[in-house]
Structure 1
Amino acid sequence: MKTILITGSASGLGEALAKQYAKNGWSVCIADIQQDAGEKRAAELSQTHGTDCFFHALDVTNDEQWQAIYNAVTARWQGLDAIINNAGVASSGDIDDLPLKDFQWTVDVNLMGVVKGCYYFTPMLKKKGGYMVNVASMAGLLHMPSMSAYNASKAAVVALSETLCAELDSYNIKVSVLCPAFFQTNLTKNMRATHSGGIKIANRLMEKSSISAADVAAKVYQDSLAGKFHILTHVRENMLWRLKRFLPSLYMSQIKKIGKKFNTKMTQE
């Protein structure tokens, strides 16, 4: 029996990931702050796929809840084969406009939530090897304007993952970082933005995307088990990232143009 813990898996991408792993025979711990939805998902997966799926409440900013879920996984499975640190939030606003409490909230969930998942479950993975997937974003590689908190938090997740990829290799732990661009999900549901235009633009980009959460989940399953570090789901943004790496001056000129267009759109919304 293969076992996996997925944070933020009661809805959105996390739910799609839970379904992807369960249908491939994995037992899944649904870890989320949404208790009713999480319990429902776990019951559905167990019934549909015949695997040992269960829900455990988890606020990724809460150390006591991390310790509790570690204890629950130990008692139920005596170990873990994989963890996906997926829980995340979104925010937007200029650096001098976004309240510092919202900046801190973004970092606490997106970065420290991942750090805590790695901290608590790495010792378990070290015992027999396994897989660790940290969910960042294309915003961790390409940094659009008016998204400083979100960009910084996701870039830090990429840096953390790169560090752990080398650090944990000798323990046979394969570390991957997921960096998707916009796709169809519920990311903006609890988004904190200084201007409603930021939410409208994000929703429009998600609606226009041809990529679904199920598509992203399938890519994660395939690439992480293959031991790939960067999991990239969008062709256009992947090309832009390569432009940044090999022609940084040209990339920066393009980003500045995008910034001007973005500011114009924001004022029109």
Structure 2
Amino acid sequence: MAELQPARFDGKVVIVTGAGSGIGAATAQRFGRDGAAVVLVGRTREKLEKIAATMPAERSMVHVADVSNQDEAEGLAQATLQRFGRIDVLVNNAGIATSGPFLETSVEDWRRVMATDLDGVFFCTRAVLPELLKVQGNIVNTSSVSGLGGDWNMSVYNTAKGAVTNMTRALALELGGQGVRVNAVNPALTMTDMTADMKDDKDLMARFADRIPMGRGAEPEEVADVIAFLASHDARFVNGVNLPVDGGLSASNGQPKQA
């Protein structure tokens, strides 16, 4: 009989921000299936508890916090240590988006997106990093293909995700020699609450399908699986990578299909 292998995150503690829906929810569930103790972080308790109810109660914890608030990010780290005693992986996934012409973008929208998408990564990383250094853990950021190239009428989101992309690289350089790896996933269109309105636009979906070689957007679980890989021992020599999870979209040079 083959020897039973332990789940690859047995004994590990993983924090997932934005865990109430979409990629974050799928990521929390994936780590839970792989044996981790998981801290589900978000601003809406009901959404977090709904996801946590699908996971082992003894290895999951709901923590309500706004990651754009420095004190709440620090409180997240403290609460995790109080419950589980260590932190091995931080998944900076919380994010929001806004779109529209640059001159019509309000200062409030700019600050709101930057606060969650960029400040949240900064505050959570700062709060958790001392613990990651102790155990030689790692960080996986959720960036976007919008952090690798520009979109029409999404300058604010592009700016925030571009910053996350380059923060990933910079921290990988700084921390890799200390045993902490930092990587990011860069999804294209993913079927989440954030893209629900887009899904109902058949013409828009057809245009996405035409541009993505695999002919569709991603499911949240398909991104979560890649996050789990980057956080795992299997990826132990992967550092500073911004990995497109885009069905081949970024393989194109931008020219249209030809017969």
**TM-score range with shorter-chain normalisation?**
0.7 to 0.9
Counterpart in 2 of 1:127?
134
Provide, for residues 224-243 of structure 1, a one-character-per-residue CA deviation record: whole Å limited to 9, x for no partner: 42143222212432214xx4
Counterpart in 2 of 1:231?
243
* Cα contact 2:217–2:247 (8 A) shared by 1: no
Provide, for residues 84-117 of structure 1, a one-character-per-residue CA deviation record: whole Å limited to 9, x for no partner: 0000001101110111211111111111111111
Could you tell me which of 91, 101, 117 is aligned with 1:84? Answer: 91
| C-alpha RMSD over aligned residues | 2.5
For residues 46-85 of structure 1, the aligned pairs below 5 Å read 46-47=56-57, 51-85=58-92
Tell me the distance in 2 between the aligned counterparts of 1:95 and 1:202.
24
- Pick which of 168-177 and 81-90 moved more: 168-177
Counterpart in 1 of 2:149?
142
Determine helix, strand or coil for the equivalent of 1:91. coil
Question: 1:104 and 2:116 equivalent?
Answer: no
Determine helix, strand or coil for the equivalent of 2:193. coil
* Cα contact 2:17–2:93 (8 A) shared by 1: yes
Counterpart in 2 of 1:26?
36
Determine helix, strand or coil for the equivalent of 1:134. strand
Give the count of matched residue pairs: 235
Determine helix, strand or coil for the equivalent of 1:184. coil
Counterpart in 2 of 1:216?
223
Determine helix, strand or coil for the equivalent of 2:80. helix
Could you tell me which of 29, 34, 48 is aligned with 1:38? Answer: 48
By how many angstroms is 1:188 displaced? 4.0
Tell me the distance in 2 between the aligned counterparts of 1:232 and 1:221.
15
Could you tell me which of 4, 14, 29 is aligned with 1:4? Answer: 14
Counterpart in 1 of 2:4?
none
For residues 185-264 of structure 1, the aligned pairs below 5 Å read 185-188=192-195, 204=205, 209-225=216-232, 226-227=235-236, 228=238, 229-240=241-252, 243=253
Provide, for residues 207-264 of structure 1, a one-character-per-residue CA deviation record: whole Å limited to 9, x for no partner: 9724210111112212342143222212432214xx4xxxxxxx6xx6xx9xxxxxxx
Determine helix, strand or coil for the equivalent of 2:184. strand
Structure 2: runs of 5 or more not aligned: 1-10, 210-214
Tell me the distance in 2 between the aligned counterparts of 1:188 and 1:201.
13
Tell me the distance in 2 between the aligned counterparts of 1:94 and 1:201.
23
* Cα contact 1:139–1:151 (8 A) shared by 2: yes
* Aligned partner letter, 1:165: A
Counterpart in 2 of 1:176?
183
Structure 1: runs of 5 or more not aligned: 190-195, 244-250, 258-269
Provide, for residues 25-66 of structure 1, a one-character-per-residue CA deviation record: whole Å limited to 9, x for no partner: 01100011010121232232015xxx5101001111112211
* Cα contact 1:43–1:54 (8 A) shared by 2: no
- Which structure shows the higher helix fraction? 1
By how many angstroms is 1:202 displaced? 10
* Cα contact 1:188–1:202 (8 A) shared by 2: no
Alpha carbons of structure 1 residues 161 and 6: separation in structure 2 relative to 1, 3 Å: same
TM-score, length of structure 1 as denominator length: 0.80
